[in-house]
Structure 1
Amino acid sequence: MRLLATLLILLAIAPTARAARPMVTDDARLTDGGACQLESWLHLHGSQHELWALPACNPGGNLELTMGGALAYNDSHQETGAAVIQLKSLFKPLETNGYGIGLSVGYAAQPGSSHDANPYFYVPVSFSLADDRVVIHTNLGVTRERENRENRMTWGLGSEIQMSERTYLIAESYGQDKGNPYFQLGIRHWIVPNRIQIDTTYGSRVDAISEQHWFSIGLRLISPTLF
């Protein structure tokens, strides 16, 4: 409890940082140089429940390393896991009323998959409008599906709209070059501005809203400079 209290105090007095949870579409931003963040959320999808934790650190200033995963279980009490390893860097940082561009590469295994993780890369591009009150994110990339031995193009289009000083509305759609896309709507709120954030989302697949819908609730903690 003392360690948790100390962490919360440090988070409250630390300098500003930004990140993209709860969006699936990534942004052209990094955790502050020398700092770390922890994104965690509960994802409820029909009979399956997933608990995710993705710690990320940016020790050198322009290279963010994310390593984490999930524990999933269903109504039959069958447990599975997932893992993600990702590196992200920026060619141009996002500026107010400007744009940013970066590159992310990694491996990811989904809950319930009996196969090795799939390698992927994508290019996140973000655009700031109206003094950061509206930010648009686009992703374009490729993932290698080892099970099918196919390369699939991936894409994402998302937006952040500032509703108040601490509250943002997010809306996005994303998918692959085959199959119908997914959509997600949500709200993020800073309990401590730029330090402690909570969020919630609702999403589904466009052609199967009632069958494939999900709900998530998340928490993000952002550290002071550690390196």
Structure 2
Amino acid sequence: MATMKKLLLLPILLYAHPAWSARPFVTDDARLTNAESCQLESWTRIYPNSTEFWALPACNPTGNLEVTLGAGLSMASDTKDTSDYVIQAKTLFKALETNGWGIGFAIGKVYHPAVTPSANQLGNTYAYIPFSASFNDDKIVMHLNAGVLHDHASNKDNMTWGVGGEFKASPRFTGVLEVYGDHQSNPFTQAGIRMSVIPDLFQVDATLGRQLNGVNDNQWVSFGLRITPDKLF
């Protein structure tokens, strides 16, 4: 995946690792993973000319500080394989409640070692505010992100944003829809479904996505999983 696309996805996404939302969203929500526990999100994105693999473990040791440390591998048919690394911290000012709203703050860095290494030793820094609102007893939950990403290679700032919704069809199945991007590029959108295999512990998901008004290379199908044990320490 092109560098700019990575910069758009990760700052808003990662993430983004709440206990009920998260995968397959790029847009984050105002929740954290379970207190005194960790979670694992892993997924693959398949593009016409490349495939990505991601693993993002996150822990919440204090109850209101979620720390994520993960990595991704991109394998393209015509270029050398590349890897990326992410570190992020997230906290909440107000946790999302049923039929209520929540808001938080996240900050992190995305490292691209193979992309102009000397200019990116400190990575690309980002920060954003996730806002969420619950309706009809959590049958509809909406998420809004607003943030900024500083690209150290170009020394430029991009304003990032995301809007997403989850729509519960049954206790086990939830539909997801979102659009996200920055102030300089055409936005991205994706839609899909999430299935709870073991409630509150193990879920799988799948999405179809593309860049609006973009080239065919900027479309994908993704498959992911998420494991959220109740307590580990």
TM-score of the superposition, structure 1-length normalised? 0.89
Write the distance in 1 (CA, Å) between the matches of 2:24 and 2:185.
Answer: 23
In the superposition, relative to structure 1, how do residues 111 and 99 fare at CA in structure 2: closer, same or farther (>3 Å)?
farther
- 1:199 and 2:205 correspond: yes
Identical pairs, percent: 45
What code does the residue aligned with 2:69 have? M
Gaps of 5+ in 2: 1-18
After TM superposition, give the deviation of residue 224 of structure 1 in Å. 2.8
Give the aligned partner of residue 4 of structure 1. none
Preserved contact between residue 58 and residue 69 of structure 2 (Cα < 8 Å) = yes
What code does the residue aligned with 2:181 have? G
Preserved contact between residue 70 and residue 111 of structure 1 (Cα < 8 Å) = no
Structure possessing the higher radius of gyration over alpha carbons? 1
What code does the residue aligned with 2:220 have? W
Preserved contact between residue 195 and residue 204 of structure 2 (Cα < 8 Å) = yes
Query: Secondary structure, in 3 states, of the residue corresponding to 2:130?
Result: strand
Query: Secondary structure, in 3 states, of the residue corresponding to 1:197?
Result: strand
TM-score of the superposition, structure 2-length normalised? 0.87
After TM superposition, give the deviation of residue 211 of structure 1 in Å. 3.5
Residue in structure 1 matching 2:55, options 53, 56, 62: 53
Query: Secondary structure, in 3 states, of the residue corresponding to 2:193?
Result: strand
Preserved contact between residue 27 and residue 162 of structure 2 (Cα < 8 Å) = yes
What code does the residue aligned with 1:66 have? T
Paired residues, number: 211
Write the distance in 2 (CA, Å) between the matches of 1:154 and 1:110.
Answer: 19
Root-mean-square deviation (CA), in Å?
A: 1.5
Preserved contact between residue 71 and residue 111 of structure 1 (Cα < 8 Å) = no
Give the aligned partner of residue 139 of structure 1. 145
Show the 5 A alignment for 1:122-133.
122-133=128-139
Give the aligned partner of residue 62 of structure 1. 64
Gaps of 5+ in 1: 1-16
What code does the residue aligned with 2:96 have? L
More displaced, 201-210 or 156-165? 201-210
Query: Secondary structure, in 3 states, of the residue corresponding to 2:185?
Result: coil
In the superposition, relative to structure 1, how do residues 209 and 129 fare at CA in structure 2: closer, same or farther (>3 Å)?
farther
Query: Secondary structure, in 3 states, of the residue corresponding to 2:216?
Result: helix
Residue in structure 1 matching 2:37, options 31, 35, 38: 35
Query: Secondary structure, in 3 states, of the residue corresponding to 1:33?
Result: coil
Show the 5 A alignment for 1:175-194.
175-194=181-200
Give the aligned partner of residue 91 of structure 2. 89
Write the distance in 1 (CA, Å) between the matches of 2:84 and 2:207.
Answer: 21
Write the distance in 1 (CA, Å) between the matches of 2:115 and 2:201.
Answer: 34
